[in-house]
Amino acid sequence: MRAQGKIGLITGAASGLGYETARLLASEGAKVLLADIDLEGGEKAAAEIRAAGGDAIFLKVDVSIEQNIINAIKEVRSRWGGFNFMHNNAGTQLEVPLHETTNEGWDKINNINLKAVFWGLKHGVIAMKETGGGSIVNTASALSLVGDPFLPAYTATKHGVLGLTRAAGAAYALDGIRVNCVCPGDMETPMIIKYWEATGDPEQAKINMGAAYPAKKIGHPREVAQMVLFLVSDDSSYVNASAMVVDGGLLSKCY
């Protein structure tokens, strides 16, 4: 029960990494609010966690609206009487060349991937100052550390998440608040599966993507969820302002 006594929320928790993390934390004793814009998927995810014996609820949250994040934190504190972890995980992708990126597209991906993390950090810190500290984990990316010419806006937002993580972790350590991020490589999430399907040959697309990795395969969200659990738990009590790369060795390669 590595997450026993942990109370908090996960954004983007209706599917993918957010769902796997919520399920894992709940199985390890945490009380978890699943926040997502997907009402049907989020309700189903929370019900599955409760059916397995976990303590979880769902709240529809559009993270691009600051008040929604504030309300989600208030809901956690009202329901369970505490707040000591937050996983800022919600994100989106924009696969458009830089010269074709519109202002609207740039603003949308920044609002979800970066501004929402800023709000999650801001209001998470305010709450944790009142409740005795805690752990905030942000979902960054392997692209927080390198660039992707096909994902310029996404790359920029994930570099920003890494910068916020480092600054906030250093700023609030004396308040008993640790801030870290996970930097996953490609994972078998609904977003990636949708991309494979769009190619017309999803199996081959999966093989082609995995070919870049030393193990010739991409990761599963539960493998990243294990790292989030570690960062939320007291096992990582001296880990702060760090970027935990979970990419199967992708960034170790030159070619």
Residues known to be catalytic? 154
d(CA 28, CA 18): 15
Phi and psi at residue 179, in whole multiples of 5°? -130, 120
Question: Comparing C-alpha atoms, which of 86, 70, 66 is closest to residue 78?
Answer: 70
Helices (H), the chain: 16-27, 39-51, 66-80, 103-110, 116-131, 152-171, 190-198, 202-210, 221-232
Residues near 25 by beta carbon (within 8 Å), at least 6 away in sequence: 3, 6, 10, 32, 85, 225, 228, 229, 232
d(CA 36, CA 61): 5
Residues constituting the chain:
255
Give the sign of the dihedral formed by CA 212, CA 217, CA 221, CA 227. negative
57 by DSSP, 3-state: which? strand
Q: Look at strands 55-60 and 85-88 and give their pairing.
A: unpaired
Inter-axis angle of helices 66-80 and 116-131, nearest 10: 30
